[in-house]
Amino acid sequence: MNEPTVTFTFDAIERDVLLTDLGDDVAVTTLREESGGADFAACDISNILVLADQERFMLIDLLASLPACKVTVAENTFNDVFSAVLSLPAASANMVLFRNWKVAALEAAALLCPDALEAPCGLIAQTMRGRGVKGVRQADLVAQARKIMAGLNAGPAAESSPPQTVRDVLPDAPVADGAVVPAGWALSDGSTVRLTDSDAGLPAAVVITERGFDTQRTTETVTVAWKRGGEWRSRTVSRREVADARAIVALAEYGLPVTNNTARDLVQYLDDFEAVNFAVLPQGRVSGRMGWQGTDGAEGFLWGRALITAESVFSDAGPEADGAPRPISFREADAGDGQLADAFRAAGSYEGWLAAVALVEHHPRALAAFYAAFVPPMLRVLNETNFVVDLAGETSGGKTTVQRLVASVWGDPVEGREASVVHSWNGTRTWTERVPAVCGDLPFVMDDTKNAGSPEEVAKTLYSVVLGQGKGRGTPLGIARYASFSTVLFSSGEQPAVSFTPDAGTRPRVLSFWGSPFGEKNLETGNMVRRLNAHLRDHHGHAGPRFVQFLLQHRDEWERWRAECQDCAGAFAEEAGDDAVAGRLAAPFAVIYITAHYVHEALGLPWPWRDPIKDVRSELIRGTSGADAAADALRAAHGWAVAHRRNFFHAQQTERDQPADGWAGRWDHDLDVRPGSETDPWPWLGFMPDVLRKVLEAGQFSYDATLKTWRDRQWLETDNDSRNTKKVKMLRDATRLVAIRRGAIEADDGE
């Protein structure tokens, strides 16, 4: 390996000098003589930030002692080394270079201006703020520069006294070998204090155990550990959080005894600790998203807190023995993310799970959902899009059991446990966006739509899942990164999920089963379902990781599988003929078909492979084509109006006719004849918006989505503005009504 050099120019002659020679008195004396005797002397420091700390300091020290020597950076020339260092490009996003730049600038300031540090440190602070670093104080930089000066003034005596290692003080500290206590600080079993001020510090020992890189956000992290109650706790956070005194206080929530009064000292201590231990801190990689990592899964698959590779499953891997970076690990942004990750774990045995799932062999609906459980990681492999598997029907029909079957492929299938793969529909809108974004390429299992806050929430979740990304959001600086995901949503409820959404783009991506997944309800079926539930409680979380490992071991075949899937989808589409609904379902049918084939090859299931779509294809096509939520909502609204005709105002009524709870709307029909007859010339049926909302939501229809579709289909009479209403006079007052055109109602009645 070539030794690092630095280029000096004396007049027109360039000379490369070994950096190791800067520690040689004879070599340094020669350079000083050549610099003083030349008409023009210069040194290029463009690469100084990649040098080791000792080499960098020796070069800055030499240049500070050569006042006649210019300092160059690329094509720019400076009169002193401080100005040159200040100009070096080092963005705060690059932790290594930025740290080296800051230390180099402070070293140059201490060497050139030991008695007037305020001015150069003010320039450093100004430059840091310009590079996006918040909370920088000139006084803190001056204190750091004085520490450098103190080290210089201590001379050889100080150099002969090695720094104290962390494990000299705290033998059980979770730090790398060789980690030292930064100068000016003292650690004990119960405190971290600044030596110059015994009152400045924290009532706990604090260390940095690791620096890292978040592969999803492309940001850098540090893992902070502290001793509390006799045990070490840790938290991996972004570097921004430990560089900002206001942000670091958030760690108090996790037990770090930091307050507004001590936050600034903690930020300074962590900065000093990282700087002095930078070379020995292990470097990890983290991700806040489970599923495939790297391009085409090149870096494995995060299953909960474990990383699956083609060779093994790393559950809690530390740095490799040769010092190479460790495998990617899951980093929770908050406690809820960790709870999601903890659900993906194994229990019992694989053999016990196989014995359980063998019970569903002869139940086509359950079997199709079972194979679909393996689809989420296959979506990226096959370059296919998300879809929904919907289990609808009366209570106690076995829907939840099938969801447990699906969840058991990947982790804990028991809903209600602290960490379960099965979730309830009663989460907030933000929560239903966040879960699939964190789970990435793993299934999203939601039980019982009746627990949702509103039909509109169900519709929005279905749309978000099919789209494969959460809602776009802004930040104070711009636009937040989209949270994309590849998943299959497994939903259950007493009515089909497609009844909640009139969106024509969503419904063809919902595979809807109606009725008991296990067929006729009888004693034999009930006993089988009970045995299945009991086995799945004890044996789960083995099959999914095995299947992912199989996928990784066959990465060279992924292109062939994609072609197979396209051919299969083409065959399903051809079989559909002129049936548009069946044609749109060809893609999810093909994905399940291909996935089932490779599940059998990977897992050796206890029954022979057969086409999982054949026995359910017709039912799924009917379930999608027969579902038109907008038309169903129209029938519900019209039916309610017919049943409450006297609650609607019409031209012949007076104020005395108004119901006690107010008019429901306006309907200009003749009460003495059948609505819709030739003698009843009403142009539209108008609802008060709040009345219509109650009617629709009582029928589990989304009010906003329904009105949007009604307007798109030209079923509404409006004032031709952006609103879905028409201004109508009722007695002396005018109000806005949702006016449904008579033609829409009569066309629906005629179907």
Half-sphere exposure of 295 (CA within 13 A, CB side): 0
Statement: residue 158 has pLDDT above 50: no
Range of the domain at 446: 343-625
> Taking 70 as the threshold, does the pLDDT of residue 159 lie above it?
no
Q: Which of 582, 602, 625 lies at the terminal end of a domain, its last residue? A: 625
- What's the pLDDT score for residue 674? 53
3-state secondary structure 712-732: HCCCEECCCCCCCCEEEEECC
Rounded to an integer, the average pLDDT of 727-743 is: 90
Answer yes or no: do 480 and 616 share one domain.
yes
Enter the tokens of residue 42: 């210069």
CATH number, domain with residue 482: 3.40.50
Between CA 257 and CA 227 the distance in angstroms is 10
Residue 471: pLDDT above 70?
no
What would the two tokens of residue 247 be? 């942000």
- Shortest CA distance to 458 belongs to which of 494, 413, 418, 409? 494
Q: Do residues 131 and 206 both lie within one domain?
A: no
Residue 345 in tokens: 């774990």
Q: pLDDT digit string (tens) for 213-253? A: 888 777 888 999 999 888 999 988 888 899 899 999 999 99
In order of 183, 186, 198, the CA distances from 195 in angstroms are 9, 6, 6
Q: The pTM is what?
A: 0.64
Residues 530 and 668 placed together within one structural domain of the fold = no
350 and 221, same structural domain? no
Residues 267 and 244: beta-carbon distance below 8 Å: yes
Residue 316 resides in a domain: no
User: Rounded to an integer, what distance in angstroms lies between the CA atom of residue 549 and that of residue 193?
Assistant: 48
Give the containing element (helix H, strand E) for 120.
helix 118-130
Same domain (yes/no): 232, 120 = no
Alpha helix locations (H) across 577-712?
A: 580-584, 586-603, 617-625, 629-643, 689-698, 703-712
CA distance 288 to 624: 35
pLDDT digits (tens, 9 = 90+) for 432-463: 888 999 999 999 999 998 888 888 888 889 98
Residue 326 is predicted with a pLDDT of 63
Whether 627 shows a pLDDT value over 80: the answer reads no
Residue 472 has pLDDT above 70, yes or no: no
Is 333 domain-assigned? no
pLDDT at 572 over 70: yes
The answer to whether residue 626 scores a pLDDT higher than 60 is no
Across residues 170-177, what is the average pLDDT? 91
Residue 308 falls within a domain, yes or no?
no
Which is higher by pLDDT, 196 or 323?
A: 196
pLDDT band at 12 (very low <50, low <70, confident <90, very high): confident
* pLDDT at res. 410: 97
In a domain, 324, yes or no: no
Same domain flag for 648 and 742 = yes
| Mean pLDDT of the region 570-591 | 89
C-alpha dihedral (124, 130, 132, 133), degrees to nearest 10: 20
Residues 10 and 102 in one domain: yes
Mean pLDDT for the stretch of residues 124-146: 84
pLDDT of 325 over the 60 cut: no
Instruction: Read off the pLDDT of residues 252-291 as tens digits, 9 standing for 90 and up.
Output: 998 999 999 899 999 999 999 988 888 888 888 888 899 9
Where among 260, 281, 302 does a domain terminate?
281
- Say if residue 611's pLDDT is above 80: yes
Q: What is the pLDDT of residue 625?
A: 59
699 located within any domain? yes
Do 563 and 436 belong together in one domain?
yes
Averaged pLDDT of the chain: 85
Cβ count near 638 (within 10 Å): 18
Q: Is the pLDDT of residue 563 over 50?
A: yes
Task: Write the CB contacts of 716 (distance below 8 Å, at least 6 apart in sequence).
Answer: 707, 710, 724, 726, 738, 739, 740, 741
Weakest-pLDDT range from 80-94, 136-150, 494-508: 494-508
Contacts of 452 (CB under 8 A, 6+ apart): 425, 426, 458, 461
> Based on the number of CB atoms within 10 Å of its own CB, is 291 exposed (0-12), middle (13-18) or buried (19 or more)?
buried
Mean pLDDT confidence for 86-96: 75
pLDDT-derived band at 303 (thresholds 50, 70, 90) equals: very high
Q: For residue 676, is it left (φ>0), alpha (ψ between -120 and 50) or beta? A: left
Average pLDDT over residues 461-474: 75
Inter-CA distances, 42 with 7, 8, 72, 87, Å = 9, 6, 7, 16
Q: Which residues contact 300 (CB under 8 A, 6 or more apart)?
A: 293, 294, 307, 308, 309, 327, 328, 552
The reply to whether 299 falls in a domain is: no
Residues 122 and 14 grouped into a single domain: yes
Neighbouring CB atoms inside 10 A of 626's CB total 12
> Does pLDDT of 74 surpass 60?
yes
Beta bridge partners of 210: 223
**The pLDDT of residue 129:** 86
Does 227 fall in a domain? yes
Same domain, 201 and 78: no
Beta bridge partners of 490: 389, 445
Q: Would you say residue 124 has pLDDT above 60?
A: yes
> Which of 580, 600, 625 is the endpoint of a domain?
625
Of 53-57, 487-491, 599-603, least confident by mean pLDDT is 53-57
Are the beta carbons of 185 and 195 closer than 8 angstroms?
A: yes
Say how many domains are in the chain: 4
Could you tell me if 412 and 467 lie in one domain? yes
Any domain includes 495: yes
Cα dist from 663 to 3, 419, 685, whole Å: 90, 50, 13
Q: What is the pLDDT of residue 322?
A: 40
Residue 189 and residue 254 in one domain: yes
- DSSP secondary-structure letter at 3? P
